[in-house]
Chain A
Amino acid sequence: MIDISALHKSFVSNAVLRGVDLTINSGTSTVIIGGSGTGKSVLLKCVLGLVKPDSGTITLDGEDVARAERDAFLAKFGMLFQGGALFDSMPVWQNVAFRLLRGSLKRPASEAKDIAIEKLRRVGLTPDVAEKFPAELSGGMQKRVGLARAIAAEPQVIFFDEPTTGLDPIMSGVINDLIREIVTEMGATTMTITHDMSSVRTIADRVAMLHAGKIRWEGPVSEMDSADDPYLRQFISGSAEGPIEAVR
């Protein structure tokens, strides 16, 4: 279980997170929605320790992430980045097996490669992709490779940062379905950041809306459409009219 309490983060005079409280139960898929620039990615990076919060606490299974041993803590996580963030100096299989080729999870290269090819197959890519370099792949294929890398070490917790950004609707649907299947199959705890409502409906067990640095609404995805929060309703409908300013 990930428990976020009274989390604050400012960049110079810009207060991005203003007291975020959120609990993500083990084995559930939580999707964080919210407009661009509302601090969704900052929240995710605070959990991972990529950004240091100004105040507040984040615990994973009761352990304060700020005091946890970094390697052991990060070994529990997998992450799919918005742009894929694949290492373009190495072939696809080495990207997928990166964690398996070094550090505490290191194993022989041949075994790591077999696992990488298996994970690539799991995300719908053929073994011949393994020897290619990221620059040779389309955006959708890069996302799949990023997804394969995120699940390669079978982490307990997986983060997805805007998994469908920049993809066409069909490829977005494929990635959403893949994420849902993998999450269910692995039983992992997941946190997804998106403003793509089709992703929300496919991936989420629970939804949390971040607005003005705080969690504005939180609940099961089944209750999202019937919620009467005006901010959430405006966001779901995509209307320019409502309490959320259209021009930020």
Chain B
Amino acid sequence: MILLAPIAALGRSTLALMASIGRVAIYCAHTLRHIFTPPWYPKEFLTQLLQIGWLSLPVVGLTALFTGGALALQIYAGGSRFSAEAVVPSIVAIGMARELGPVLGGLMVAGRVAAAIAAETGTMKVTEQIDALVTLSTHPMKYLTAPRVVAATLCLPVLVAVGDSIGIMGGYLVGTTRLGFNPSNYLHNTVDFLEFWDVASGLVKGAVFGFIVALMGCYHGMNSGRGAQGVGRATTNAVVSASILILAANYLLTELFFTA
């Protein structure tokens, strides 16, 4: 029996993981159903657009600015080993648009938005506000989850686009002021080598990441345990699961977009 204990523990963990995946999948299916069926709450949706989109701009912008600058320095340092310094503008642009813009934007929004959503909905659950919504003939999935998920799915591509632009600008500033690039040549190289799909793939990734961020925030908030500890755990779980799912989804989407 003692020898079987580790196998039993592994089995229990696997079953628990499968059950969690199943619960998230069911929650996701319910969310999609409530997004596409009335009633809709446009005021809630607009509020979430402001909360998720507008108020995340500074975080995403600053992250992109410093990342673009650091990327230019790294590519210049690496490229100089085989006399390829000239690729800095194009690699910065492609790197920001395809990978760093959406992934870092998604992760920063996961930290800010998934945590906020989980804390808010978790507190609402603990203080019986979710029950109150039901007694007031309002479905919590429609009133809380659907507007947040739709708003995040629409906001993230816009944030990614803004982040891409600011990141490329960060690379441009470092390239022209620190690395001695000609401003005009830098811009030409950026535009000439950047293709439509480089940008579009990043925006699609952004939409998927936005969906993940809001879904994880709502799921963990709605399933929060009791008390401050329960809400705290829900918040942590929301950020961790959103971040991991973003990185996993990024790999899968990159496989789909660029190797298929």
List residues of A whose CB falls within 8 A of some B CB: 45, 48-50, 70-71, 74-75, 77-79, 81-83, 85-89, 98-99, 102-105, 149
- 17 A-B pairs (CB sep. < 8 Å): A45-B131, A48-B135, A49-B134, A71-B137, A74-B135, A75-B137, A79-B132, A82-B128, A85-B132, A86-B132, A87-B129, A88-B129, A98-B138, A102-B39, A102-B138, A103-B39, A103-B138
B127 at the interface (CB under 8 A from A): yes
Of chain A, the residue at the smallest CB distance from B135 is: A79
B41 at the interface (CB under 8 A from A): yes
Please, how many residues of chain B have a CB less than 8 angstroms from a CB on the other chain?
14
Q: Mark B124-142, 1 if CB is under 8 A from A, else 0.
A: 1001110110111110000
Name 11 extra pairs, CB < 8 A, besides A77-B135, A85-B132.
A48-B135, A49-B134, A50-B131, A70-B137, A74-B134, A74-B137, A75-B137, A85-B131, A99-B137, A103-B137, A149-B136
- B127 is contacted by which of A48, A70, A83 (Cβ under 8 Å)? A83
Q: What residues of chain A lie closer than 8 Å to B138, measured between beta carbons?
A: 98, 102-103
- B128 is contacted by which of A75, A83, A88, A102 (Cβ under 8 Å)? A83
Q: How far is the CB of B202 from chain A (nearest CB, A)?
A: 33
List residues of B whose CB falls within 8 A of some A CB: 39, 41, 120, 124, 127-129, 131-132, 134-138
Of chain B, the residue at the smallest CB distance from A95 is: B132
Of chain B, the residue at the smallest CB distance from A105 is: B137
Of chain B, the residue at the smallest CB distance from A101 is: B43
Q: How far is the CB of A72 from chain B (nearest CB, A)?
A: 9
Q: Are A87 and B132 in contact (CB under 8 A)?
A: yes
Q: What residues of chain B lie closer than 8 Å to A78, measured between beta carbons?
A: 135
Bound-state CA distance A98–B136 (Å) is 7
Q: How far is the CB of A161 from chain B (nearest CB, A)?
A: 8
Bound-state CA distance A149–B132 (Å) is 10
Of chain A, the residue at the smallest CB distance from B124 is: A87
Kindly name the residue among B41, B128, B132 whose own CB sees the greatest number of chain A CB atoms within 10 A: B132
Bound-state CA distance A187–B140 (Å) is 30
Bound-state CA distance A87–B132 (Å) is 9
Bound-state CA distance A99–B143 (Å) is 13
Bound-state CA distance A77–B137 (Å) is 9
Q: How far is the CB of B231 from chain A (nearest CB, A)?
A: 14
Q: Are A85 and B127 in contact (CB under 8 A)?
A: yes
Known A85-B127, A85-B128, A85-B129; contact A50-B134, beta-carbon cutoff 8 A:
yes
Q: What residues of chain B lie closer than 8 Å to A99, measured between beta carbons?
A: 136-137
Q: How far is the CB of A70 from chain B (nearest CB, A)?
A: 8
Of chain A, the residue at the smallest CB distance from B143 is: A102
Complex A-B, nearest 9 residue pairs according to Cβ-Cβ distance, in ascending order: A85-B132, A85-B128, A74-B137, A79-B135, A81-B128, A85-B129, A99-B136, A71-B137, A103-B137
Of chain A, the residue at the smallest CB distance from B134 is: A50
Q: How far is the CB of B177 from chain A (nearest CB, A)?
A: 45
Q: How far is the CB of B191 from chain A (nearest CB, A)?
A: 44
Of chain B, the residue at the smallest CB distance from A104 is: B137
Bound-state CA distance A172–B131 (Å) is 24
Bound-state CA distance A203–B184 (Å) is 81
Q: What residues of chain B lie closer than 8 Å to A87, measured between beta carbons?
A: 124, 129, 132
Q: How far is the CB of B132 from chain A (nearest CB, A)?
A: 4
Kindly name the residue among B41, B128, B135 whose own CB sees the greatest number of chain A CB atoms within 10 A: B135
